[in-house]
A and B are shown apart, each in its own frame.
Chain A
Amino acid sequence: MKFKRIGKKGIVSINLLELFSMVAFTVIIYFLVSLLLFSGIDSAHKESKDNVAAFKRVDAGVQNLRVLLQEGANLQLINIETTAERSGVLAGKTITSCTDYIVERDCIDDTTAISDGTFLCKWAGELCYAQYQGFR
C-alpha cells in the first residue's frame, strides 16, 4: 500500500490570518488546559480536606461522648452513631451535646444544630444542658 505524499505547497500554504488564528487558539488551549488541571486539582484537594474534616468531626464527637460517659451519662439512651455524626464545629471546638456549648447565645440557638428535635439546649446556672421533650 502506498501513501500519497503531500506536496510542499500543501504544507506551507497557510495565510497570515490562519497563522494568527492558530496562535490565538493555541493560547486558548493553553488556558483551558491550565484551568482544567488547576480546577481538577483544586476540587480534589477540597474534597480531600472535607473528607478529613468530616472524619475528625465524627471522631471528636465520639471522644466527646466518652467524656460524657466518664461524667456518668447514660449513653444507652442515645444512638451513639447518629449523635456523633450530628456533631458540629464551633470556633474550632466540636459540639456533640448541649454541655459542650460554653456561650449562652450558642446554647439557646443551638448554633451547630446538634438537636434532632427530641431535646432543646437550655442555659441555666452558667451551664448549657439538654431538656428533653416529652417522656424524659
Chain B
Amino acid sequence: MNKKGLLLSLSFWLVFIAIIAYLGITVMQGGAVAGVKGEWHINFLTKNYLEAEQKLLNYDSLIYNTAVNVAWEMAPNGGFIIENPSPCGKTSNGVSLWYKEGTLCLPPIEKALEKTKSLLQKKIPTKTYHNLEFDKTIFRGEGEKETISSDVGTYTFSTSFFIDWGYSYGEYNQLTGEAWQILLQCSGAEELQSCLDKNKPEHWKYSSCITPQFVQEKGVVIFCVESPKRYVLPVGEELYRPRELVTYNLALDLFYAFNPTQ
C-alpha cells in the first residue's frame, strides 16, 4: 500500500469507528429520539380540556349544593324563603301558615329561583348566569364562555349547566291542590279530626312525619307533608352525605270556612 492508500484506508477506518461509537452511545442512551405520536394532542387535552372539565365539575358542585340548600331552606318553611315569610304568619312553634282567617297564603315558588340566583352570585362571583330555570328535576342556566390558555394552545368552553338534581319544585303545585281540597272539605268542620282523617292524602301527617299526632290550636292544624313523589335530597356537610326524604311543614287555620271566591 502506498502512502496515499494508507491515508485513505486510515481515514476510512476512523470515520467507520466514529460512526459505530456514535451509534453505540445513542443505543445505550435509549435509542434514537423519534417523535411521540399525539404528543401535542394529549398535552392539549390534559392542560386545557381536563382543566376545563375539572372547573366545570367544581361549578356544578357549587350550583348543586346551592340548589339543595335553598330547597332544604324552603321545605320546612312551607315553601317560603327566610327573607320572604308567609303573609299569614307562623304558628307559635314557627310553622308557616298557608291559610289564616280567610286569607290564602300560598308559597311563591318563583322566589326559589331568585334566592338560588343570588346565592350563586355570592358563591361564584366571577360568573354570571342567565335564563336560570327549574324544569321538572332539571336545573339549568346559561353561563358565559371561559378560556383556558396553556403553552400548547387556547381552549374556550361554555360554563352553561344542566343538572338533574332529582327534585322538582313542581311538587308544590300538587301540595297546593291538596291543601285547597282539605280547605274545601274540612274548614269550619265541627269534627275536624275525623274530617281530616277522611279527606287528607296519606302523605299528609299531623304535626310530625316521625310521630304523627293530631293537635289543633283554635282550629290551626300543623301538617308535616312527605314528598308525594318521594324525592330525596342530601343532608349534612360530609363528603358522602345521606339522602333524606323531603318533608314540608305547613299549617292551616281550619276554624274559618274557606271561600274560594274570596
Contacts and interface: CB of A to CB of B under 8 A. Distances in A.
A124 B33 CA distance: 51
Contacts of B42: 48, 51-52, 55
A33 interface: yes
Interface string B205-246: 000000000000000000000000000011011111111000
Interface string B40-55: 0010011000100110
Interface in B1-39: 1-2, 4-5, 8-9, 16, 19-20, 23-24, 26-27, 30-39
A46 B53 CA distance: 26
Contacts of B45: 55, 59
A97 B23 CA distance: 48
Contacts of A75: 57-58, 61, 239
A13 to B, nearest CB: 4
A2 B169 CA distance: 99
B42 to A, nearest CB: 4
B162 interface: no
B60 interface: yes
Contacts of B1: 9-10, 13
A74 B65 contact: yes
A111 interface: no
A13 B2 contact: yes
A36 B46 contact: no
Interface band, chain A: 35 or more
Interface in A66-83: 66, 69-70, 72-78, 80-81
A44 interface: yes
Contact of A32 (B24, B30, B46): B24
Given A72-B243, A130-B240, A25 B27 contact: no
Of B4, B236, B238, B239, most buried by chain A (CB within 10 Å of CB) is: B239
B233 A136 contact: no
A58 B52 CA distance: 13
Given A44-B36, A51-B36, A136-B238, A11 B16 contact: no
Contact of A84 (B23, B33, B54, B241): B54
Interface string A37-64: 1111111110110011011001100100
A136 to B, nearest CB: 6
A17 to B, nearest CB: 12
A44 B9 contact: no
A62 B9 CA distance: 65
A81 B240 contact: no
Interface of A: 4, 6-7, 9-11, 13-14, 18, 25, 28-29, 32-33, 35-45, 47-48, 51-52, 54-55, 58-59, 62, 65-66, 69-70, 72-78, 80-81, 84, 99, 129-130, 132, 136
Interface of B: 1-2, 4-5, 8-9, 16, 19-20, 23-24, 26-27, 30-39, 42, 45-46, 50, 53-54, 57-58, 60-62, 64-65, 164, 233-234, 236-243
Given A72-B243, A80-B57, 12 more contacts: A29-B20, A32-B23, A35-B27, A37-B34, A40-B31, A48-B39, A58-B50, A59-B50, A62-B53, A72-B241, A74-B237, A80-B58
The 3 closest A-B pairs by CB, nearest first: A39-B31, A72-B234, A10-B5
6 contacts: A11-B8, A36-B26, A45-B37, A51-B42, A74-B236, A74-B238
